[in-house]
Structure 1
Amino acid sequence: MQIKQLERNLGKTLFVREPRQVTLTTEGEILLDYARRLLRLNEEAVQHFIAPELEGRVGIGTSDDVGTRILPEVLAQFARSYPAVLVNVVVGSSKQNIARLDAGKLDMVLVTVADEAREVRGEVVHQEPLVWAGREESSAFQRSPLPLALAHEGCAWRRMTLRALDRAGVPYRIAYTCEHCSGQEAAMMADLAVAPFPESLVRAPLKQVVSEHLPEIGSYRLALVRRGSNPLNDALATHVKEAFQGLA
């Protein structure tokens, strides 16, 4: 009854009602996004008044794809809730940041985990498929051997991509190597190469490249690895996990 009343108030149908399932309409998905943002804002407001005042520093390591696209909003929300806490962000490869964590230089890190990994250190907070990405109207994917833009040796995305190509028998060459996504994007924008990218990060002027000659790469996971538990670490970890839940 409440949903029907909400639909009447908005003048929009929010759900497609079928005999055995109920799914969201386009308007329903838009409203759901607003609702999630309102809930996060409400939690922020409540936390500001009832959460214990925290002071100090906390260090987090991340790859640049997460650091430049997802963490800024997380840090902005965290700063509003805990203005006396200084967050130190270190951008680097998963291998580098794990070494910093183990050396006591960071409190937590977000690391990329390949789909073939049986044991995962830390808590998985996100999972999504890797897809082929290139410039709109790209021709790079039609070349043989296939030109690739990849991160350096040790990157989970690189391992997954090369494994998929080897299994499919697709000839390739590594045309561009850069640890940062911005560098790989530059190679794609120049139509020098294609690259594996998380589906949610492929945005214009890049596009997902689909071809019968390109194999599926698989899904990757992001794990949050922490050095210990204390009020500062727990508060930041909660904000990070909630941000990824909002992407699901």
Structure 2
Amino acid sequence: MTQNTMNIRTSGLPLLDTDVLRTFVAIAECGSFTRAASQVHRTPAALSMQIKRLEETIGKLVFLRESRQVRLTTEGEILLGYSRRLLKLNEEAVQQFLSPSVTGRVSFGTTDDIGTRILPGVLAQFARSFPGVQVDVTITSSRENLDRMDSGDLDMALVIIGNEGQEARGEIIHTEPLVWAGREGGIAFEQSPIPLALANHGCIWRRAALDALDQAGRAYRIAYTCENTAAQEAAMLADLAVTPFPVSLIRPPLKKLEKEGLPPLAKYQIALVRNASSPEADVLSDHIKSAFLAMRPSAA
């Protein structure tokens, strides 16, 4: 009887309108009703009515309205995560039944940091939406991926922009800060010369770190030269070195070194480079770009 009662109560809960959730996400990311209205092609007044309806539905305020911007409340922050997931699931469901069947094979190249951290989840979602597309992945350096693109061995690749001797190619789909990282509670950064764990010559992270330290007049030694980010992490976890790292890849017990007196580093960018278009490559490209777009923090 208790279980039956629970089912009845659950089925009586209101459903969240995906159109309203899409408006909510747009406002959260734009930080403004006016900018979001332009994005979703509606008036600010219409958006305001939708948000009022949403707040009435869940019984909580989702935005703090200020003179020139809006900020998410605590409840709004929680709802934003749910909204993005619900909209993504809705898109996958529609694609499953209404999208034309896409089959084929795509050869795809990427760098170690993307291929081991970000890409597995992206490809898992893609496989559920497009089970007829086979994706073959090669993980190597940006320069090697571009060489493989030129030889026709790859259909598309994600490469890091700004490597020495690398021409600007492709569409920039992600930008984020490059920061110093080290072990939480560690002392490697206090040593002089400071020990570094860096990738091989030609890596933009390596060049950015050495240029920053040279300009700051900070003594350093290259303690580890690594082929992949896992080796750099191992050096940091052992508190044997610090390293330049994208902020999105830092996980406890590693931390961003902010007050340790190290010189700031520039942002780094990821570009999607493609060869000839095909239906299977087009859908994979769109899926990858959507995944990186979802990684961007909200404007709140």
1:150-186 CA distances to partner (integer Å, 9 max, x unpaired)? 1101111111111111111111111111121111000
1:119 to partner: Cα distance: 6.3
SS in 1 for 2:200: coil
Taking the aligned partners of 1:178 and 1:212, their CA distance within structure 2 comes to 24
Q: TM-score, normalised by structure 1?
A: 0.94
SS in 1 for 2:258: coil
Q: Which has the larger radius of gyration?
A: 2
Aligned match of 2:60: 12
- Identity of aligned pairs, percent? 61
Aligned match of 1:39: 87
Q: Which amino acid aligns with 1:56?
A: G
1:5 to partner: Cα distance: 3.1
State which of 210, 227, 247 in structure 1 corresponds to 2:275. 227
Instruction: Return the structure number with greater relative CO, CA threshold 8 A, min gap 6.
Output: 1
Aligned match of 1:28: 76
Q: Does 1:98 align with 2:142?
A: no
Taking the aligned partners of 1:90 and 1:77, their CA distance within structure 2 comes to 19
State which of 58, 77, 82 in structure 1 corresponds to 2:125. 77
Aligned match of 2:295: 247
Taking the aligned partners of 1:153 and 1:86, their CA distance within structure 2 comes to 33
SS in 1 for 2:61: coil
Matches within 5 A, 1:135-214: 135-211=183-259, 213-214=261-262
Q: Which amino acid aligns with 1:230?
A: S
Change in 2 beyond 3 A, CA 1:51/1:117: farther
1:241 to partner: Cα distance: 0.2
Q: Which amino acid aligns with 2:168?
A: V
State the 4+ residue runs in structure 1 displaced beyond 3 angstroms.
114-119
Taking the aligned partners of 2:262 and 2:190, their CA distance within structure 1 comes to 10
133-142 or 39-48: bigger deviation: 39-48
Aligned match of 2:41: none
Q: Does 1:51 align with 2:107?
A: no
172-181 or 34-43: bigger deviation: 34-43
Q: TM-score, normalised by structure 2?
A: 0.79
1:27 to partner: Cα distance: 2.4
Unaligned stretches of 5+ residues in structure 1? none
Unaligned stretches of 5+ residues in structure 2? 1-48
Taking the aligned partners of 1:213 and 1:191, their CA distance within structure 2 comes to 17
Larger strand share, 1 or 2: 1
Q: CA RMSD in A?
A: 1.8
